[in-house]
Structure 1
Amino acid sequence: MSTRPQLPAPDPDETGPYVHLGFATARPGREDEVEQLIVALAEPLRAEPGAIEFHVHRDRADRRQFVIYEMFRSKADLEVHLAQPTTQAFVQAIASLVEGPLRQQFLRMCSELPAAIAVAE
């Protein structure tokens, strides 16, 4: 399972943050382990330079489905995050707990970032 996907380049006119979604399906009976593993990332990830937001979501209808929401100041900051030992260890640890590879999606923010969330360079 690769932790270093090819990240799409920001659009030339893009000024907002770089957003990453990760999707995982826990193996039956491993749901709580997956949740604990992902939630354990919150504190170290939020302390990384360039990290703006990190949230873990679990589907209400299918408790095996997880969505990770990460917002970074830039593509470069996300690339640094993906190379971190914490991220590498997470990918290795979760591999046996989920079905298939983690699915990833990279988003362009179209709405304005709330003023309360600073995106300082």
Structure 2
Amino acid sequence: MTLLRPIFAALVLALTSAIQPAAFAQSPGAGQATQDKTVNICALMKPKQGQADALRQSLLALVTPTSSEEGHISYNLFEENNGSIFLHEVWRSQEDLERHFQKPYIKDFVSRTSTLLDGENEAHFGRVISSLSNAKFSERDAQQPGAVHICSIKRPRPGKADELRQALLSLAQPTSQEEGYITYNLYEEKDGSLFLYEAWRSRADLDAHFQKPYIKDFQAKVGALAERNDVRFGKYIPASPAH
């Protein structure tokens, strides 16, 4: 479900990341549905004019304290070409996430977001239904400057939620056989909407993926299945120059 909240509530529920060891460890098998209690988040943020660097630095300042919290699994930031940022975050449980919201550094960040964001923060919360990781790649590979990361939001048309879900799940197995795929995770929200987090070794690998027959077939029919198909492409933002 797409949650467009006031800036305060949205950012409290949307400080995220991806590509930590857990992004690779939670791999039950190609296309295999999973059941767990993790809270998975994709948040989309657009900075106000002139505030891109301030937003980036404010989010990066949260990485170290967040990574030391009980229940934290993953927190990573990605920057789009236009300066917008998306985050992919994973927590062990809803209880862990709620404790996170109460931390002083989170409350301080939230108090400053009205000066940083253009409009509202869009946060998506879902359960993992398929999680795939390529064993030949490491976390460091996913953090290389040439790697491409995707957050994709899919809101089904009325009556098409199951068909959209199955169409996306059917892509997992062939995608897992591709050269250059690092991670392909699919999440489902409470209203049947879906979002994906993907990571690819390079733009060339991703371009080759888009030319696969099963991807072209999905692209040809996604308009009939989804009333929203929003795909964001970003580069990993390192926590420090040496990260």
- Same structural fold, with TM-score higher than 0.5 when normalized by the shorter chain: yes
Partner of 2:127: 108
Partner of 1:119: none
Contact conserved, 2:12 with 2:106, CA < 8 A, in 1?
no
Q: For the structure 1 residues 51 and 113, does the alpha-carbon distance in structure 2 shift closer, same or farther, using more than 3 Å as the test?
A: farther
Letter matched to residue 58 of structure 2: L
The answer on 1:49 being equivalent to 2:70 is: yes
The answer on 1:83 being equivalent to 2:113 is: no
% of aligned pairs identical?
24
Q: Number of matched residues?
A: 107
Find the residue that maps to 2:117 and give its secondary structure: coil
Greater radius of gyration (CA):
2
**RCO (CA 8 Å, sep 6+): is it higher in 1 or 2?**
1
Contact conserved, 1:37 with 1:94, CA < 8 A, in 2?
no
CA RMSD in angstroms comes to 2.3
Alignment of 1:1-121 (within 5 A): 1-2=8-9, 14-60=35-81, 62-63=82-83, 65-112=84-131
Give the distance between the partners of 2:77 and 2:103, measured in 1 at CA. Answer: 19
TM-score relative to the length of structure 2 = 0.40
Q: CA deviation at 1:113?
A: 7.2
Structure 1 alignment gaps of length 5 or more: 6-12, 115-121
**Runs of 4 or more off by more than 4 Å in structure 1?**
none
Find the residue that maps to 2:110 and give its secondary structure: helix
Contact conserved, 1:21 with 1:70, CA < 8 A, in 2?
yes
Contact conserved, 1:23 with 1:104, CA < 8 A, in 2?
yes
Structure with the bigger percentage of strand: 2
Q: CA deviation at 1:103?
A: 1.6
Q: CA deviation at 1:18?
A: 1.0
Contact conserved, 1:17 with 1:72, CA < 8 A, in 2?
yes
Structure 2 alignment gaps of length 5 or more: 1-7, 14-33, 134-243
